[in-house]
């Protein structure tokens, strides 16, 4: 694969995250009523059809335009600063794909419907807020980014000490 072709791989990854996110959201909207819940692992995991007009855990309810502005700024920053933030390795590319794909997936919901479609519901010892594939991608992408940034910091310290 040529270098020119390789540079498109992160964007294909982003589109893959968005596609998986919206395929699952479409299925929930198509086959479930809002508020309906179907247990997958009784007492632990359910598919629950929820519409979230806020951010994570329902904070900032009804603040669609503020949430869209924050997301647009983050997307712009992540894309513009991709090399500096994520480095050149596979973990950085993974973090980029997951963060940008997750943010874009939820932005599409907010623009199209004014809310985000959530459906994964962990419960049992605690009742975790209902979330979706995009939210999962953002959390996993953030964890990958932390690992990348620690690695990049260590390399900078090693270069300075030489």
Total domain count for the chain? 1
Domain that holds residue 67: 34-160
- Please state the pTM of the whole predicted model: 0.88
Active site residues: 118, 135
pLDDT in tens, 78-119: 999 988 888 888 899 999 999 999 999 999 999 999 999 999
Does position 152 have pLDDT exceeding 80, yes or no? no
Q: How far is CA 149 from CA 19, 46, 84, 86, in A?
A: 27, 34, 10, 7
pLDDT tens, position by position, 24-83: 999 999 999 999 999 999 989 999 999 999 888 788 888 999 999 999 999 999 999 988
* Cβ partners under 8 Å of residue 98, min gap 6: 13, 17, 137, 138, 140, 141, 144
Note whether residue 9 is domain-resident: no
Bin 38: left if φ > 0, else alpha if -120 < ψ < 50, else beta.
beta
In a domain, 141, yes or no: yes
Whether 12 is in a domain gets the answer no
């Amino acid at each position: 694969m040529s270098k020119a072709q390789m540079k498109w791989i992160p964007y294909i990854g982003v589109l893959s995250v968005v596609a998986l996110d919206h395929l699952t959201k479409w299925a929930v909207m198509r086959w479930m009523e809002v508020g309906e819940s179907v247990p997958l692992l009784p007492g632990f995991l359910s598919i629950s059809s929820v519409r979230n007009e806020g951010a994570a855990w329902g904070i900032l309810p009804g603040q669609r335009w503020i949430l869209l502005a924050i997301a647009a700024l983050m997307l712009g920053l992540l894309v513009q600063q991709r090399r500096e933030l994520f480095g050149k390795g596979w973990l950085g590319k993974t973090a980029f794909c997951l963060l940008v794909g997750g943010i874009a997936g939820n932005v599409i919901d907010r623009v199209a419907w004014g809310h985000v479609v959530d459906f994964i519901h962990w419960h049992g010892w605690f009742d975790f807020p209902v979330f979706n594939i995009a939210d999962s991608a953002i959390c996993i992408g953030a964890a990958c980014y932390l690992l990348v940034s620690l690695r990049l910091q260590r390399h900078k310290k090693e270069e300075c000490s030489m």
